[in-house]
Amino acid sequence: MSTTTSYADEYRRSMEDPGGFWLDAAGLIDWMRPPARALDSGSAPLYRWFPDGTLNVSANALDRWVAAGRGDQVALAYDSAMTGSKRTFTYAELLHEVELFAGVLRQNGVERGDRVAIYLPMTPEAVIAMLACARIGAVHSVIFGGFAANELAVRIQDAAPKLIVTSSGGLEPGRVVEYLPIVEKALAMIVGDRSVAGTVTSSITVVSEDELSVEAVIVRNREAVPGDAAAFDGRVGVRWLDLEDQLSRAEPVAPVELAATDPLYILYTSGTTGTPKGVVRDNGGYAVALAWSMRNIYDVHAGDVMWTASDVGWVVGHSYIVYGPLLAGATTVLYEGKPIGTPDAGAFWRMVEEYRVKVLFSAPTAVRAIRREDPALEHLAGYDTSSLEALFLAGERLDTETYHWIDEALHCPVVDHWWQTETGWAIAANPRGIEPLPVKPGSPTVPVPGYRVGIVDGKGRPISPGVEGNIVLELPLPPGSLPTLWGGDEKYVASYLTAFPGHYATGDSGYLDDDGYVYVMGRTDDVINVAGHRLSTGGLEEALNHHPAVAEVAVIGIRDELKGQRAAGFVTLKHGTVIDHDVLVTELVALVRETVGPVAAFRDVTVLDRLPKTRSGKILRKTMRQIADGEPYKVPATIEDPTVLTALEAALGR
């Protein structure tokens, strides 16, 4: 690694000599064939990192540390606040589990390049299944447990997995979430079996059972949740197999040699339409970027403990519950529970004390939830949190009020950092491992080495410091960031690289200040962020459109004190429809819950006679949002009928 120690030097070097910078960083990884070249720019604007390197990420996360004498160190500490169960896996034990799970995949015909969908709650099998895929070069696609059948179906259809790995279910406060009926329903949607599927949205292209990519569903039977593989076997023309039974017959599998550029996983994220985008992650670039970030951003090293209180279904979980800590030889903590209510607002502090957590990574929403429950932080005083050296937050804007509250309460720094599913790791952060920089509340600090952050107007012209505009990243993106989208380079180029040629469009708006600090203010598209979860308003609209009484819908994100934003639906009814208002609202809320999932936390419905539109028929979402948030607004010159805004104000009691 470079001997320079200041952020400015590191950043400059990453800009002036990216090849040298990242080849040095590649030394953090054990390669089967070390890369001689850093970047393949032959197909610009598409780039590939470490084109001639080969490696195995699972071997880097496990075998390597066992070989280095860390076999007895805890690799994974699992703590379920939902069941009270706890279990630790040493590196040697986790390796054994992953080798066998890879055997299960193999004995079910999964080969390099095949996709495997993983729909699991926050239990160790999720980590094990991901690493097992990585071991044999299968491409995993983890689907968050809070998504319902339609979201699952859309992702399964796009990724075309051979296998689905699931569990009898998840546990939410006061509620058991049975996964098997959801998986069955999703598969039934794809094959158009409406007797099981109910509604099939237009996001799904119905195929015959023979054309279904899925050959088997592997089920982990969880004691706490009813349902097993045997009861479902044969449904939707698929084999439903019991994981324990499969494991009892599995042979351990050695890691295979993969190209750095081979895909490691696909992770779907919400775009502006109802169809999510499949972000592709490669093996080599990702491993290097994460290993570099563990040292230089998080300051977490072999033997340290990192707890990321997210979910493996999100990018944060992929990068910093599973891959990052294990690539660094650290201990990672897997927590099944909430920041509050499981059992109280002291949950985080209990975990810090119990696992001697050095770095905790969470979302601002979780901090706001704790603040609401325990404003005087009485619980904190009851635990020894002296091991904690930093609290990292991401997923949504860290408002200054929340920042100050938690910063004053904790004895250690609170670090905001900004990133996206697409980048896989932070674009802007306080690089604590290189040099802690002064904090400016409201800013996730400075661009991370490798990222050239710019602010441009709608025409791509650079904007002066202090003025808000579109945040863009000059190409090439550093290692770890998406090389493409599943479904093709063209889709990737059209979605991200066309609006501002030579740049990746982040979809975020913000500004840089005179010191080069980044400020991220919000999205420029119809993506909303509910409790750090990214949702597409288009997807919610599609769900609402399926109600027989609904003529037109618009969903916008409005301000929410706890969750940052929440989705609010505005509907007009078909001419002559008579339906009780409460019944309509209940049905619409249920529709979103059943199609998109409970995680949308959709509750607000307003019925209008007409939606505010321009003369060309475009819904005036920004104006609607301003009215809903009680902000001043200008009546757009292109409005079709200004009285519709008055009616909207009245409906919202403004």
Residue 637 in 3-state DSSP? coil
From the list ligand COA, ligand AMP, none, partner contacted by residue 177 (C-beta under 5 to 8 A by kind): ligand COA
Q: How far is CA 647 from CA 426, 556, 619, 644, 654, in A?
A: 43, 17, 15, 5, 10
Contact residue for ligand COA among 53, 146, 278, 564 (CB under 6 A): 146
Contact residue for ligand COA among 30, 93, 172, 560 (CB under 6 A): 172
Residue number with CB closer to ligand AMP (138 or 477):
477
Element (H, E) at 446: strand 446-447
Residue number with CB closer to ligand COA (239 or 603):
603
When asked if residue 204 is in the footprint of ligand COA (CB under 6 A), the reply is: no
Element (H, E) at 293: helix 284-296
How do the residues of the chain divide into helix, strand and coil, expressed in percent and rounded to 5? 35, 25, 40
When asked if residue 420 is in the footprint of ligand AMP (CB under 6 A), the reply is: yes
User: φ, ψ for residue 456 (rounded to 5)?
Assistant: -130, 160
User: φ, ψ for residue 40 (rounded to 5)?
Assistant: -100, 110
Please report how close the Cβ of residue 481 comes to ligand AMP at its closest, in angstroms: 12
Contact residue for ligand COA among 531, 589, 620, 624 (CB under 6 A): 531
When asked if residue 304 is in the footprint of ligand AMP (CB under 6 A), the reply is: no
Region of residue 196 (phi > 0: left; psi between -120 and 50: alpha; otherwise: beta): alpha
Residue number with CB closer to ligand COA (69 or 174):
174
Please report how close the Cβ of residue 17 comes to ligand AMP at its closest, in angstroms: 28
From the list ligand COA, ligand AMP, none, partner contacted by residue 51 (C-beta under 5 to 8 A by kind): none
When asked if residue 143 is in the footprint of ligand COA (CB under 6 A), the reply is: no
Q: Which two tokens stand for residue 539?
A: 């997807």
Contact residue for ligand COA among 28, 118, 241, 316 (CB under 6 A): 316
Residue of 215, 219, 246 lying closest to 230 (CA atoms): 219
Site map for ligand COA, 338-357, x if CB under 6 A? xxx-----------------
Contact residue for ligand AMP among 151, 158, 396, 526 (CB under 6 A): 396
When asked if residue 599 is in the footprint of ligand COA (CB under 6 A), the reply is: yes
From the list ligand COA, ligand AMP, none, partner contacted by residue 397 (C-beta under 5 to 8 A by kind): ligand AMP
Binding segment for ligand COA (CB under 6 A), chosen from 236-244, 598-606, 624-632, 644-652, is 598-606
CA–CA distance, 596 with 275 (Å, rounded to integer): 11
Contacts of 363 (CB under 8 A, 6+ apart): 309, 310, 316, 393, 394, 395, 396, 531, 532
Residue of 289, 291, 287, 283 lying closest to 259 (CA atoms): 283
When asked if residue 402 is in the footprint of ligand AMP (CB under 6 A), the reply is: no
When asked if residue 390 is in the footprint of ligand COA (CB under 6 A), the reply is: no
Is the separation of the CB atoms in 143 and 170 below 8 Å? Answer: no
Q: Are β-strands 503-512 and 469-474 bridged in parallel, bridged antiparallel, or unpaired?
A: antiparallel
Contact residue for ligand AMP among 287, 394, 531, 540 (CB under 6 A): 394
Binding segment for ligand AMP (CB under 6 A), chosen from 44-52, 347-355, 414-422, 473-481, is 414-422
Contact residue for ligand AMP among 60, 362, 470, 529 (CB under 6 A): 529
From the list ligand AMP, ligand COA, none, partner contacted by residue 601 (C-beta under 5 to 8 A by kind): ligand COA
User: φ, ψ for residue 362 (rounded to 5)?
Assistant: -145, -165
When asked if residue 124 is in the footprint of ligand COA (CB under 6 A), the reply is: no
Is the separation of the CB atoms in 416 and 407 below 8 Å? Answer: no
From the list ligand COA, ligand AMP, none, partner contacted by residue 517 (C-beta under 5 to 8 A by kind): none
Please report how close the Cβ of residue 26 comes to ligand COA at its closest, in angstroms: 27
CA–CA distance, 329 with 291 (Å, rounded to integer): 10
CA–CA distance, 328 with 473 (Å, rounded to integer): 27
When asked if residue 418 is in the footprint of ligand AMP (CB under 6 A), the reply is: yes
From the list ligand AMP, ligand COA, none, partner contacted by residue 310 (C-beta under 5 to 8 A by kind): ligand COA
Contact residue for ligand AMP among 14, 58, 201, 269 (CB under 6 A): 269
Residue number with CB closer to ligand AMP (329 or 557):
557
Contacts of 107 (CB under 8 A, 6+ apart): 246, 249, 250, 251
DSSP for 563-631? TEEEEEEEEEE-TT----HHHHHHHHHHHHHHHT-GGG---EEEE-SS--BBTTS-B-HHHHHHHHTT-
Please report how close the Cβ of residue 150 comes to ligand COA at its closest, in angstroms: 14
CA–CA distance, 59 with 36 (Å, rounded to integer): 21
When asked if residue 508 is in the footprint of ligand AMP (CB under 6 A), the reply is: yes
From the list ligand AMP, ligand COA, none, partner contacted by residue 421 (C-beta under 5 to 8 A by kind): ligand AMP
Contact residue for ligand COA among 363, 556, 568, 619 (CB under 6 A): 363
Region of residue 95 (phi > 0: left; psi between -120 and 50: alpha; otherwise: beta): alpha
When asked if residue 269 is in the footprint of ligand COA (CB under 6 A), the reply is: no
Residues in region 309-348 near ligand AMP by CB under 6 A: 315
Residue 33 is classified by DSSP as B
CA–CA distance, 310 with 396 (Å, rounded to integer): 13
Q: How far is CA 408 from CA 376, 404, 531, in A?
A: 11, 6, 23
DSSP for 360-388? EEE-HHHHHHHHHH-TT-HHHHTS--TT-
Please report how close the Cβ of residue 369 comes to ligand COA at its closest, in angstroms: 4
Torsional sign, CA 503, 534, 124, 220: negative
From the list ligand AMP, ligand COA, none, partner contacted by residue 169 (C-beta under 5 to 8 A by kind): none
Please report how close the Cβ of residue 118 comes to ligand COA at its closest, in angstroms: 13
CA–CA distance, 59 with 224 (Å, rounded to integer): 32
Please report how close the Cβ of residue 485 comes to ligand COA at its closest, in angstroms: 21
Contact residue for ligand AMP among 108, 201, 332, 421 (CB under 6 A): 421
Please report how close the Cβ of residue 227 comes to ligand COA at its closest, in angstroms: 15
Is the separation of the CB atoms in 77 and 88 below 8 Å? Answer: yes
User: φ, ψ for residue 279 (rounded to 5)?
Assistant: -75, 125
Q: What is the dihedral of CA 556, 559, 564, 567, to 10 degrees?
A: -30
Site map for ligand COA, 462-481, x if CB under 6 A? --------------------
Binding segment for ligand COA (CB under 6 A), chosen from 69-77, 168-176, 240-248, 624-632, is 168-176
Binding segment for ligand COA (CB under 6 A), chosen from 109-117, 170-178, 381-389, 483-491, is 170-178
From the list ligand AMP, ligand COA, none, partner contacted by residue 145 (C-beta under 5 to 8 A by kind): ligand COA
Helix extents (H) in 425-536: 489-492
Q: Which residues bind ligand COA (CB under 6 A)?
A: 145-146, 170, 172, 175, 177, 309-310, 314, 316, 338-340, 362-363, 365-366, 369, 395, 531-532, 562, 598-599, 601
Q: Which residues bind ligand AMP (CB under 6 A)?
A: 269, 315, 394-398, 416-421, 444, 507-508, 520, 523, 529, 534
